[in-house]
Every structure is written in structure tokens, then in C-alpha cells.
Amino acid sequence: MAKFAKLSFQKDEMNRQLAGFFKGMLENGAVDAVLVPMAQKKGVRLTLVTSAANMDRVDPFAPVAAVSGAKIASSLTARPSGRRLAMVLRPCEIRAVVELVKLKQVNLEDVLLIGLDCYGRYENTDFAKFEDLEKTSELFLENAQAGKTAVEDFDIAGACRICEFPTAENVDMRLCAIGAGDGGVFIEAVTPKGEAALGKSGVKAGGAPTGRDEAVKKLIAARTEARDKKFAEYRAETGSFEALADKLSACVNCYNCRVACPVCYCKECVFVTDTFRHDGEQFMMWAEQGGMLKMPNDTLFYHLTRMTHMSLFCVGCGQCTSACPNDIDVMPMFRVCADKTQARFDYQAGRSVDEEQPMAGFQADELVEVTGQVK
């Protein structure tokens, strides 16, 4: 049975209490380092903390994710660091981590995975508009619990508005904010490893959030409805190549969306290798084909290639949209496509480490209607 520990706090005291919890973990040797969102000079960044003294400015529930935590988890654990590391990540980041584990880019052996409840995050530029970072998170949680995430003229990221994964799975511990009532956050120990860490952190176990499941269910229902609406809209708007090309007309092939994407794990994307370093004569040939050639070309070709490569692993975190310098809403294109491809193999990205990725092993009779073998 999952064990809970309540962290109650007075107004504007949440982060301090959380800092205490993470300090306890470091000091009592539960882990050797903690990767946790922390307020930095400008904005909030995931920070690798090895000495408890630096823990006071933690801000896990800050409604922002400057860079997908999964990419950082990959750099930290692809080759084991030899140290026990706790990582505090959002559900979409953890689901990306699950996919990266299967791609052997993340190794969870000495890792204590702590999942954050998540009502969503603001785009980095919007988040920067909050002055007082101390209070932002608490205030955000309160409003979000009341179903209000929009502030002045901006709201949480498009991806979060249609995200049906507010809570994290496959984790050792959870920081539960949804349905936790005000003035308190719950730490849930999910796995034996989590329980051991909770014991060591010095926080007294006890109590349980009432109404959490119900609140989570309600939130998921609302988000799913919003998602389906968005999918339908987007599908209607992009019925053909031309329509899709229009959507992407602002794209300048800077490939930033690929850099931000946590499951785009190639060392060097093919689009930057010599395969696409065409010589003049070929550009001329293409130009002559229709009399003109928009440059840089292969824009649609790039996005379609990315789709064929990673749509099966897309967790819908929205980092691609956040990363686009020309404000192209890239996320729906990938979520709509991923929805279909993952359903075809009844596979869900991030659901479980043991679920084999489709088309990973050689199976003679897979997708027989496509391969033409009538079976």
C-alpha cells in the first residue's frame, strides 16, 4: 500500500518545506545528488545539487520547463555516473525517460525517480513575466486547483492544455499537489526504493490525501476532451500536403524543434549530414522542375522524416512548439500523427519499460497487410 507523508506549510512556505525534504535526503545519504528545478538568476532550471547547503532555492512546482528533463537525464545516466541520483521530473519528462531507457540512452539503475503532479507549464517567455518567483508556484497551484491557469493575456502551453497525463507513473516517489487541499503537499512513496528514501529523508510518514484520485480523474477527463477537440480541429485544417505545408510555411529549417525534442535521440540528424549537403547542380535541377524552388527546401521532407522516425515515441510534451523561433505550433502535428501510429501497434509511449517498442525486433509476420503477405 502506497505510503504518504504530508508536508504542510503556511503561505509562501511551500518551497522551504520542500527544500527541507531534499536536504534530508542528501544529508541522510538516501542519495548522493538531487536533480531538481531551482530558481536561478533568470527563471527556473533543473539543477544538479550535491551539497544540501544549496537546496534552499528549490522550486519544483514552478509552472515552467525550460528544457525537457529527459534530455538531461540522458546525459547524466547514459554512461553510469557511479553515484546515486534522485531526479525530480514532470510526468511528460518521465514518460520520455521511459522511452529513452528502451533506447539505451538512460540507465535508471542508481536513480531514484521522483514524479511531480503537473497542472501544466507556461512558455519560457511567458513565465519570465512573473516577477516574484517565490510566490508564483504556490499561487499557480491554488489557481490551477480551481481550474484557472490563464493569467492576463497568456495561458499554460498548448501541449499542457490537452495533456491527459497530470500524474507520473513508473516512479519511486511522487510529490502530490493535485487534490492535496491547500496548505500542504503529499510525498508518496510508490516503490520499496521510494519508501527507503522517504524513511531516510526525515519527513514523518502519515496521513493521505483525500479526494486526490477523484480530482485527478476529473482533470484527465477535461484534458482528454480538450485533446480530442484539438485533434479534430487540426486534422480538419491539414487534410493535404499543401495544407500541411501552409501550417509549416514559417519554418526556416533551423531544426530547433528536433534539438528540443527529448525522444529525438540521434547523435547527428541526417539532415545535417552530407546526405543533404546537395551540390548546386541538384538545386538547379529541382528548380527547373517547377520553374522555382523555395529555399531552404526540404522543409516538409524534414518534418515528415521526423514524424516517421519518432512519432511512435512522442510523449506530447510540447517542447517542439516551445522551441520554434517562428512560433509554429509544431506539437499538434506530432500528437495527431503519434495518436494514429501508436494506436496501430496498440503501443503507448512512456507507458512501461517492459513494453517492447514496435518494429524493434525482426518478426516475419508483422503488419502483414502492409508487407503483402496474406496470412
Reference 177, options 143, 223, 226, 129; nearest CA is 143
Instruction: State whether the Cα torsion 86-10-142-43 is positive or negative.
Output: negative
Burial class of 365 by CB neighbour count within 10 A (0 to 12, 13 to 18, 19+): exposed
Taking CB atoms within 8 Å and a gap of at least 24, the contacts of 56-60 are 56/16, 56/19, 57/15, 57/19, 58/15, 58/18, 58/19, 58/22, 59/15, 59/133, 59/137, 60/15, 60/18, 60/36, 60/88, 60/116, 60/137, 60/175
Give whole-number Cα distances, 359 to 97, 134, 176, 341, in Å: 20, 47, 36, 12
Our finding on whether 370 is near other proteins (CB under 8 A) is no
Pairing of strands 44-49, 33-39: antiparallel
Q: What is the smallest separation between the CB atom of 257 and other proteins, expressed in angstroms?
A: 16
* Alpha carbon distance 12, 134 (integer Å): 7
Q: What is the smallest separation between the CB atom of 290 and other proteins, expressed in angstroms?
A: 10
- Residue 23 or 258 having the CB closest to other proteins: 258
- Residue 71 or 174 having the CB closest to other proteins: 71
Our finding on whether 267 is near other proteins (CB under 8 A) is yes
Among 243, 343, 359, 367, binds other proteins (CB under 8 A): 359
Q: What is the smallest separation between the CB atom of 361 and other proteins, expressed in angstroms?
A: 5
Is 1 in contact with 182 (CB distance < 8 Å)?
no
Among 4, 265, 302, 334, binds other proteins (CB under 8 A): 265
Mask for 281-320, x = binds other proteins (CB under 8 A): xx--xx-xx-------------------xx----------
Q: What is the smallest separation between the CB atom of 365 and other proteins, expressed in angstroms?
A: 9
Our finding on whether 362 is near other proteins (CB under 8 A) is yes
Residue 30: CB partners within 8 Å, gap ≥ 6?
Answer: 24, 84, 86, 112, 196, 197, 200, 201
Our finding on whether 367 is near other proteins (CB under 8 A) is no
Mask for 100-119, x = binds other proteins (CB under 8 A): ---xxx--------------
Among 128, 221, 270, 368, binds other proteins (CB under 8 A): 270
* Alpha carbon distance 360, 366 (integer Å): 11
Cell output for 151: 493569467
Contacting range for other proteins; rule: CB under 8 A; set: 116-124, 198-206, 238-246, 356-364: 356-364
Q: How many residues bind other proteins (CB under 8 A)?
A: 28
Contacting range for other proteins; rule: CB under 8 A; set: 137-145, 150-158, 176-184, 275-283: 275-283
Contacting range for other proteins; rule: CB under 8 A; set: 37-45, 145-153, 274-282, 344-352: 274-282
- Residue 343 or 368 having the CB closest to other proteins: 368
Task: Please list every residue from 79 through 98 that binds other proteins, using CB under 8 A.
Answer: none
Element (H, E) at 89: strand 85-89
Our finding on whether 373 is near other proteins (CB under 8 A) is yes
- Residue 125 or 289 having the CB closest to other proteins: 289
Task: Please list every residue from 127 through 186 that binds other proteins, using CB under 8 A.
Answer: none
* Alpha carbon distance 166, 214 (integer Å): 13
Give whole-number Cα distances, 150 to 17, 98, 288, in Å: 27, 31, 50
- The C-alpha angle with vertex 120 and arms to 117 and 122, in degrees rounded to 5, equals 140
Q: What is the smallest separation between the CB atom of 251 and other proteins, expressed in angstroms?
A: 20
- Residue 216 or 307 having the CB closest to other proteins: 307
Using CB under 8 A, list all residues that contact other proteins: 103-105, 265-268, 270, 273-275, 281-282, 285-286, 288-289, 309-310, 357, 359-362, 364, 373-375
